[in-house]
Amino acid sequence: MHDIVLANGSVLTSAGVRKASVAVQGGSIVAIGDDLGDSTRTVDCAAKWIGPALVDLHAHLREPGQEWKEDIASGSRAAAAGGYGAVIAMPNTDPPIDAGHLARFVRDRGDDVGLVDVFSAGCISLGRRGETMSHLDDLWNAGVRVFTDDGDSVKNAALLRAAMEYIAALGGVVSQHAVDPDLSAAGFMHEGAVSSRLGMYAIPSQADDITIARDITLAEMTGAHYHVQHLSTASGVKLIRSAKERGLRVTSEVSPHHLTFDHTDVATTHSDFKVMPPLREPHDRAALVEGLLDGTIDAIATDHAPHAALEKEVPFEHAPNGILGLEWAASVAIGVAGLDQERFFDRMSIRPAAIAQLEHHGTPLEVGGDATMVVIDPSDVWVPVSTESKSRNAPYLGRQMTGRVHMTMLRGSVTHTVSS
């Protein structure tokens, strides 16, 4: 008798997508096939996608230090609702995650909650101050594989070069919030026709591009694996494409909001649209979708960035940067970016797990593997009205979306089922 059978779905297996049922027992996949026998629970998955649970390379869970915005428990609930089995927590907490014991704390809190495997990224620089290296060996020994000063760009080229050399030797990935701090210093939104109308201090696309171009040069010099976070510009996509064509170890991610919205949404001056890098032009959005489809962009990463209502209920310029994303990234991938099943799991699970070097995540389903899976209805049309997050800075609320996570499973235990 199986614990649960996901019946008659479209299953991503190591042999490709096939119509099948998946049987789970004791936390593992015990059978993939047509007639799997008796089960305590059977879930009809006709016309639904079944594949490995999603992996987010980029979420702000705010713990330790900013628990009024989010904590690892609420962030884990949001991640499970979004189909995730693993999340890389960004290290710009208070204190920042710049030493091993802090990274262990984050992972252990995630294990205590038990809804999603939480891995901490580690800071590149001590205290995120951009001056000297953080405790890179100590972080590595605590299991950290992704290094970033996210929230700030590593501006000092000499420090970044040294960090790339050091992290390359360890085997990790250098992940950059690529926005030039001088060109973006006074800015609140994308520099273009909308910022000119609004009279708002703005950030040109080149603030991202010159940082990406410089960093690619350093990656070539050092041989490091360089990853660009939250790509926002068409020209940035071109830089990544050309670096990949030259065979460099360069990867990139795009956020759901940069795939969904653009600077014309900022014309409302609603602070939920305030984010860094800023929402750019419609042609940038189109280039990001194209780059995601052709594989130049490896992953959708949420940049889930909770901020309390009291922080966002202010004029646009005074609001903190950030948009929630964990619960709607899968819907954006399907309904907005138009990913088919194979590319969906490639960009949402397989490649992000490979970039972050996660074991037991992001592999096509196979007998004997962990039952860490997601069930998605790609044609479910729905309107999100609530969130598991402690915050509500989500312009997706109230908008119709296509594609919805119906069930999430972590090592055989169901962490989310759709409520309606």
Residues lying near another protein in the complex (CB under 8 A): 185-187, 191-193, 195-201, 268-269, 310, 313-318
Q: Quick one: 203 exposed, middle or buried, by C-beta within 10 A (0-12, 13-18, 19+)?
A: buried
Determine contact, residues 216/193, Cβ cutoff 8 Å. no
DSSP 382: E
Q: Which two tokens stand for residue 138?
A: 């100590």
Q: What amino acid occupies position 367?
A: V
Q: Which helix (H) or strand (E) holds 22?
A: strand 16-25
Q: Toward another protein, which CB reaches closer, 184 or 331?
A: 184
Determine contact, residues 402/337, Cβ cutoff 8 Å. no
Q: Toward another protein, which CB reaches closer, 22 or 183?
A: 183
Determine contact, residues 255/230, Cβ cutoff 8 Å. yes
Q: Toward another protein, which CB reaches closer, 131 or 313?
A: 313
Smallest separation (angstroms) from another protein to the CB of 190 = 10
Smallest separation (angstroms) from another protein to the CB of 269 = 3
List all residues 6 or more positions away from 18 whose beta carbon is below 8 Å from its beta carbon: 10, 11
303 tagged catalytic: yes
Smallest separation (angstroms) from another protein to the CB of 182 = 9
Q: How far apart are the first and last CA of the chain?
A: 28
C-alpha distances out from residue 289 to 42, 142, 174, 233, 284, Å: 36, 35, 24, 11, 9
Determine contact, residues 225/168, Cβ cutoff 8 Å. yes
Chain centroid to Cα 368, Å, comes to: 27
Q: Toward another protein, which CB reaches closer, 266 or 332?
A: 266
Smallest separation (angstroms) from another protein to the CB of 310 = 6
Q: Toward another protein, which CB reaches closer, 156 or 264?
A: 264
Task: Count CA atoms within 13 Å of residue 231 on its CB side.
Answer: 33
Among 117, 152, 272, 303, the one annotated catalytic:
303
Smallest separation (angstroms) from another protein to the CB of 268 = 8
Q: Which residues are catalytic?
A: 303
